[in-house]
Structure 1
């Protein structure tokens, strides 16, 4: 989207992403579905306290789990439900003080970590309203040059911001400042993991869900996701990620044998492996429209430490959704193109999650 387009000329969704063009019929169907979901939520759980009572139960009630899988979490409840689930599994005393203490130690980080974080800030959700505004502010502060331009090197910006006031104060500055703090704090807290590209999208997305004024809880939810729910995915060896990719290939051969055989014959490999790491590491961000991403995240979030298995089941459902087009391909390039554009095939979150729970994919 051109920077010359004024923000007020764009229609934004609930998280500040531009609404993609769709037919009036499709958008009317989405509104009706949301209205139906809201009605069912209000009938079963008329208040947030009623939801939290079941969320805090030792085992998530099947009634609530089904409600979330079928209808998604109400937007007004989502951040609180995510936080309650994270806090239940990874309790933290005095979250603000501990977060601030981590930020006070960011000078311990290596230059390579600082530089990579700075490089990825302007690459994060470029089309989202707040991130786009932050990029424009950064450009203006940089004398009109792009954030990675020649006037100020990325390394100089990274090192100077370590001691800047916004480095230690949750809520200060713009959304890039908040994201920078979250990523640096994670590197300090989990030095054995460090920073890996894709974490910027996860932290940024949670920052949008929780809101800029709730940066502290967004951080602790982010570290719970990366260090506990998806444990091992972001470590330098990526051993857990590679293990799950191998497991997925086995699942594909077992449950969709004709498709697995076809991909092997036309491409000489399991094509899904080209895209699966990105799907898993980014939890399908940048793959689907935001309304579908949110439904996928809801399903993953209520899975807790079983999140990797849920992600594999969803990945299998995605491939199954593309089965017809994949079976029609006759070469590597065409098959890769289908999986590269899964958002074209997966347009209905309810159908995707229903497919995830059908016998063929579960």
Structure 2
């Protein structure tokens, strides 16, 4: 089995190719371009039998991940005539199941079903498997899809807000004034690489660039969507109105050419080296917070084990407050 830490990705595409991809990859060439740029093609060529071997070896076996996959398959694209067909759902299940056995540290995370589902529109399940591998293990930071989601937390809680303050200072102040925090919304945008939020063709245009240029484009597209709607957002003076409007913004992004123009011509420089350094610095903070949270949680669990039946029945304020804190 191929090492999870091995990279096959084309790190820096030639500038002419980069510009062509930003203008949009024709549908008939998407599988080739996505696989070449992401490193999936080289992965498949180096490990041609891995996918089918995993399916054969683990056929009939189950895990926490495979059980969750079975539950999610039917609700991934419930309204789509083709994507909800038995044949397609079997392919989707195969890809997700194979990956869960390949990388038990990640196993399966909700949102991976949408990623694999959209990949299967353009390529075979064998190719989709290796492209999913490239997304999870090479293009995105290592702990985007793990149970801790540390790297996702870093991106939405630290890196994006920092870029927002620099690139859209007026809008950032407006959000702060209204007490609006974006991590929850950004989590949905980033984890699915906009697959569940933007119109389908716009999603594919975003993915064209994502496979070519890497994870930093997530920040560019998120900032571009906010910039395009900046004036309307500035006119909202209520938290609920602001939140509601931001949730709807991606679904209105039908003009992919305009989105590309704003993302790459209106936001200035965004060096990957700077983003990587910010990720490294803030990961230490996020890890420290996580360890403290787990310690506190484990402490409460140990404490709760000493609660007697009479104390549980009495419902005193002391135990009530402990249990409320535990839930929080």
TM range (shorter): 0.7 to 0.9
Query: Which residue does the alignment assign to 1:119?
Result: 71
Corresponding position of 1:264:
176
Q: 1:19-69: per-residue Cα shift (whole Å, max 9, x none)?
A: xxxxxxxxxxxxxxxxxxxxxxxxxxxxxxxxxxxxx98842211211111
Secondary structure of 2:207's counterpart equals: helix
1:333: which partner in 2? 240
Partners in 1 of 2:43 and 2:250 — Cα distance? 36
Q: C-alpha distance in 2, partners of 1:57/1:224?
A: 11
Could you tell me which residue of structure 2 aligns to residue 292 of structure 1?
Answer: 202
Tell me, yes or no, if the aligned pair for 1:300 and 1:311 is still in contact at 8 Å.
Answer: yes
So what's the TM-score if we normalise by structure 1?
Answer: 0.67
Where do residues 165-314 of structure 1 align in structure 2 (5 Å cutoff)? 174-210=87-123, 214-230=124-140, 231-245=142-156, 246-266=158-178, 268-270=179-181, 272-303=182-213, 307-314=214-221
Q: Distance in 2 between matches of 1:252 and 1:292?
A: 22
Quickly say closer, same or farther: Cα 1:109–1:279, change in 2 above 3 A.
farther
Gaps of 5+ in 1: 1-55, 135-173
* Shift in Å, 1:105: 3.7
Cα separation, 2, equivalents of 1:256 and 1:345? 20
* 1:67 partnered with 2:17: no
Cα deviation, 1:245-300, whole Å, max 9, x if unaligned, reads: 1110011111111111111111x132x32210111110101212111111101010
Secondary structure of 2:241 counterpart = helix
Q: How many residues align?
A: 259
Give how far 1:75 is off. 1.1
- Structure-2 residue corresponding to 1:25: none
Calculate the aligned-residue CA RMSD, in Å.
2.2
Per-residue deviation, 1:124 = 1.2
Distance 2:10 2:251 in 1: 38
Deviates more, 1:279-288 or 1:343-352: 343-352
| Residues 255 and 62 (structure 1), Cα distance of their counterparts in 2 relative to 1, 3 Å cut | same
Distance 1:59 1:288, change over 3 A: closer
Secondary structure of the structure 1 residue equivalent to 2:49: helix
Residue pair 1:317, 1:356 contacting (<8 A) in 2 also = yes
Distance in 2 between the 1:126 and 1:361 partners? 40
Deviation for aligned residue 1:108: 9.1
Matched position secondary structure for 1:357: helix
How far is the alpha carbon of 1:237 from its aligned partner?
A: 1.4
Give 1:107 shift: 5.8
Task: State the Cα distance separating 1:344 from its structure 2 match.
Answer: 4.8
Aligned to 1:149: none
Which consecutive residues of structure 2, in runs of 5 or more, have no partner in the other structure? 1-8, 270-328
Residue-by-residue CA offset, 1:150-182 (whole Å, 9 max, x unaligned): xxxxxxxxxxxxxxxxxxxxxxxx111111111
Relative contact order (C-alpha < 8 Å, sep 6+): which is higher? 2
1:109–1:237 distance in 2 versus 1, CA, 3 Å: farther
CA distance in 2, matches of 1:102, 1:203: 17
| 2:56 corresponding residue in structure 1 | 104
Could you report, residue by residue, the CA deviation over 1:2-25 in whole angstroms, capped at 9, with x for unpaired residues?
A: xxxxxxxxxxxxxxxxxxxxxxxx
Q: 2:66·2:100 contact (CA, 8 Å) conserved in 1?
A: no
CA contact (8 A) 1:86 1:224 kept: yes
Q: Which deviates further from its counterpart, 78-87 or 279-288?
A: 78-87
